[in-house]
Structure 1
Amino acid sequence: MKEECILKLDNMYEKRLERRRGVQQTMERTFKRNVEKEILKQDLAVLTSGIASRSGVFVWCIHNYNERKVNHIAITSAGKNEMFMESPAFETPSGYRLCARLYLGGYSLGKFMSNISVTIQILPGEGQRYESLKWPFAEKINFTIYDPRGESDHIFESLEPSHRNITFQKPRVDDMTGMVKLNLPAGIPLFECYSNFEWSHLKEDKLIIIVTVGDAKSPLIVTENMRSRTVEKGLTEGDKIGATKKIPAQPPKTSTSSKVRKKNNDSCTVI
């Protein structure tokens, strides 16, 4: 009798696992289709207009992640400039134009702490809508490492622009050349440690990063169970370790930031 009960329990457990595996595979297939659809839409937009998206959402698929990471780390460790990947330009619904950069070998503190780093850069726009924008740029920028397993365990970090940081001012025209000068990028050196996402958030050697600006929302992201942090003021690429003073007339050396990690939306710890 006891053996029959154990056998029944084993069978029930196996069936439950099988159902769970089936659901998991269905969710992964759905994820893949949705991501491919978004990326195809962006690629077509870049070909026709040069702008990947005008919704404030950019889905970035990093192919051959491990090979690219090795190359980035090798170049960065050799003492040369930090190697980065740059996204196509994308816009917010209000008309701000941006592009993102990803440093698989890290920059600033990220180089020494096994972190990938991300930055954002404000690009000059065109037309009446661009000229009527309010400055400095003040919309929150969200970076999300997408969970391809369908478990919604996305890793999320937001960047709150500082009005004193020249990165978020309107790009200026050079008096000598008449050309628009690009602002320095600003971002998050310690976006995420390799060990926190490589084992779980890579699928077929691909890393998916979703950038959203302001109130824009990606249909690919479900906020349940997201691991999130907030950085109040971004660091520019020219940041120096230990410097604390910010001078509006030139690239700030560093900025005060606070990070909050939330798990399951029920507790947070300042780190």
Structure 2
Amino acid sequence: MAENLANFPSLGSPGTSLSGPDSHLSLGELDPDFVHDADRARFNCPVCKRTLRDSRQTQCGHRLCNRCVDVWLDGALAKRCPVGEADCDDVTKTNVFPDRSIQREMKSVLVFCKNKDEGCQFQIKLKDFKNHLDDCEYEPVNCEHSGRGCKEKLVRKKLKDHVGKCPFRPVRCSLCKEEVCHNDMQKHENELCPEQTVKCPFGCPIASLKRKDIQSHRDVCSVHPVDCKYKPMGCTFAAKRELVEKHEKEDLAQHLELITRHVTDLELKSMDTQAQIRNISQERDLTQQSLQSLPPRNADVQGAVHQMETQIRDFRLKLVSMMEKVIIVERKVPDLVDRARVDTVDQTVVALQQRIAQLEQQREREQQQPTQSGSGSSTVGGSSRVARYGTVDNMAETLSTQLTAHDRQLGVHDVRMAEMDLRFQLLETASYDGTLVWKIRDYERRKRDAVNGRTLSLYSQPFYTGRFGYKMCARVYLNGDGMGKTTHMSLFFVIMRGEYDALLNWPFRQKVTLTLLDQSAEKRHLTDHFQPDPNSSSFQRPTSEMNVASGCPLFVSHAVVDNPSNGYLRDDTIFIRIVVDLNPNPQNF
């Protein structure tokens, strides 16, 4: 019998119901304590030694739990009844039947509450056993703030007193009116509350600064170090705002040299790209020649030919990608300052600076000469060299205006080159296989911005299902959106307007899989997916830059992401992966 019961403990594991579909009693893991010993013996299963569950009667009149029949037989066709009396019969799966009578009797049998040892004195009918536990004052229950982090478990009658003192109870901040846990209020006031008055983090004398205004204060702070506007070109100067403005005006020659180097680098990149295109074209020609020299196809060479055709398609895609980069460079470089124009501007600026210095010296000498009385005129305006401008001051003002115009022109070139760098970055990181791996740095700061309402959501770089396929991106709300606001990270999928939409099938029907990647060795990635609704406007052909986002408002809870024992947040960085199923093929035009 010990061998037959080897697998039985699993039947009484927590959360397992032993009641079958025909039973009116659902005792689960509970084994009630009968008031009368006679009832305990009468309703006891001889196999599991527990209260009968979904009872079955044998031909010899004994009763077993429905699942205990299988445990007892243990694969055998028939065994002697486990009671072992002289008149017992063999038990098979076909000669036992449901005992409705005993099930009805059990409903009215009196049992003790399972919390009798804790103080509950109730005696209830077995049919009301579970309903009583839902109201029993001695039943252990979780704190109602368990969702906020409370791990306390106490009897129901003490719950009310605990809730009023629970450290995880919600309280409202008196400044920003946000609801936070009581034990987090001090941290909220010291680090997070947007309405809290703080000192300038850069050390300026302003004392009445609110935390939510720090970002906007950064732009006007008198002591906050700022970068030179030519930093994208390679200038490393950073200082107080007034010193940076002086530097930008005085070091024009250095900045022009940096711009020249940057444009030269772009030209070199263009030359390298063209060289790569030539190499790919040569490889393509060699491949085509190899294909032409092959004998007629047969079963042995079809696989090799198919592989070479695949390589040709890959070469063509690379060729198109390189051509796009070359076209962008050739369009942008003529609009930027070329080397000849930079040299000309450089020489002009140096000449103007020298001329201004000479005029300043001339004016100082003329001002030192005594004014001739009675002549009705002064020597200051008498020089023929300034007749064109009227006065030296006017000449200096005119030249200063010309310098300002040159400075403004350089600023325009700076903006254009920054735009070009951004385009190159997008091209270099673009994915054309329907998969996006999105790296989000500075997670804590970005989430804080979302909580404070400064930046509610972030957009990823675009990705594509193919070189001429659908254009898509991802959108994440780090502090949640809709049902997930303040409790979850919300992740959405967005269809964008692409250049080849007219050739694609609409609505968009590809399966989309959203994944938060685990950076630890366990790789317990969190994944969700959905099939697009063809009737939703989110998956129709875009008529604006992008459609309405669709996805998972309750993608992952903050407690899971922010928990340091999990591997989803490492080095203040998270990784999100979006995978679009490419079947059916979206490019079947």
TM-score by length of 1: 0.54
Alpha-carbon shift at residue 150 of structure 1 (Å): 2.1
Give the one of 453, 456, 460 matched to 1:87: 460
Alpha-carbon shift at residue 106 of structure 1 (Å): 0.7
The aligned counterpart of 2:562 is 198
Alpha-carbon shift at residue 141 of structure 1 (Å): 1.1
2:470 corresponds to which letter in structure 1? Answer: Y
State how many pairs are aligned.
Answer: 159
- Which runs of 5 or more residues in structure 2 are unaligned? 1-420, 584-589
What do residues 131-181 of structure 1 show as CA deviations (whole Å, max 9, x unaligned)?
221110011111111111121200001122101110000012xxxxxxx45
Q: Distance in 1 between matches of 2:472 and 2:519?
A: 26
| Alignment of 1:107 onto 2:107 | no
Give the one of 499, 514, 537 matched to 1:143: 514
The aligned counterpart of 1:167 is 538
Identify if the C-alpha distance between structure 1 residues 215 and 154 changes in structure 2 by more than 3 Å, giving closer, same or farther: farther
| Alignment of 1:157 onto 2:157 | no
1:9-28 to 2 correspondence within 5 Å?
none
What do residues 210-257 of structure 1 show as CA deviations (whole Å, max 9, x unaligned)?
1111159xxxxxxxxxxxxxxxxxxxxxxxxxxxxxxxxxxxxxxxxx
- Which runs of 5 or more residues in structure 1 are unaligned? 1-42, 77-81, 173-179, 217-271
1:208 corresponds to which letter in structure 2? Answer: F
Q: Please tell me whether the aligned partners of residues 104 and 117 of structure 1 are also in contact (alpha carbons under 8 angstroms).
A: yes
Q: Please tell me whether the aligned partners of residues 511 and 580 of structure 2 are also in contact (alpha carbons under 8 angstroms).
A: yes
What do residues 161-203 of structure 1 show as CA deviations (whole Å, max 9, x unaligned)?
101110000012xxxxxxx453211121111101123221111
Q: Distance in 1 between matches of 2:572 and 2:538?
A: 33
The aligned counterpart of 2:575 is 208
2:571 corresponds to which letter in structure 1? Answer: E
Q: Distance in 1 between matches of 2:510 and 2:427?
A: 24
Identify if the C-alpha distance between structure 1 residues 163 and 192 changes in structure 2 by more than 3 Å, giving closer, same or farther: same
Q: Please tell me whether the aligned partners of residues 146 and 155 of structure 1 are also in contact (alpha carbons under 8 angstroms).
A: yes
| Alignment of 1:126 onto 2:493 | no
| Alignment of 1:96 onto 2:470 | yes
**Larger of the two Rg values belongs to structure:** 2
Alpha-carbon shift at residue 47 of structure 1 (Å): 2.3
Q: Please tell me whether the aligned partners of residues 144 and 155 of structure 1 are also in contact (alpha carbons under 8 angstroms).
A: yes
TM-score by length of 2: 0.26
Q: Please tell me whether the aligned partners of residues 45 and 51 of structure 1 are also in contact (alpha carbons under 8 angstroms).
A: no
The structure where strand makes up a greater share of residues is 1
Percent identity between matched residues is 31
Q: Distance in 2 between matches of 1:48 and 1:71?
A: 25
Q: Please tell me whether the aligned partners of residues 510 and 532 of structure 2 are also in contact (alpha carbons under 8 angstroms).
A: yes
The aligned counterpart of 1:262 is none
Alpha-carbon shift at residue 49 of structure 1 (Å): 3.0
Q: Please tell me whether the aligned partners of residues 51 and 91 of structure 1 are also in contact (alpha carbons under 8 angstroms).
A: no
Identify if the C-alpha distance between structure 1 residues 115 and 211 changes in structure 2 by more than 3 Å, giving closer, same or farther: same
Report SS of the residue matched to 1:75.
coil
The structure where helix makes up a greater share of residues is 2
Q: Distance in 1 between matches of 2:424 and 2:430?
A: 5
The aligned counterpart of 2:550 is 186
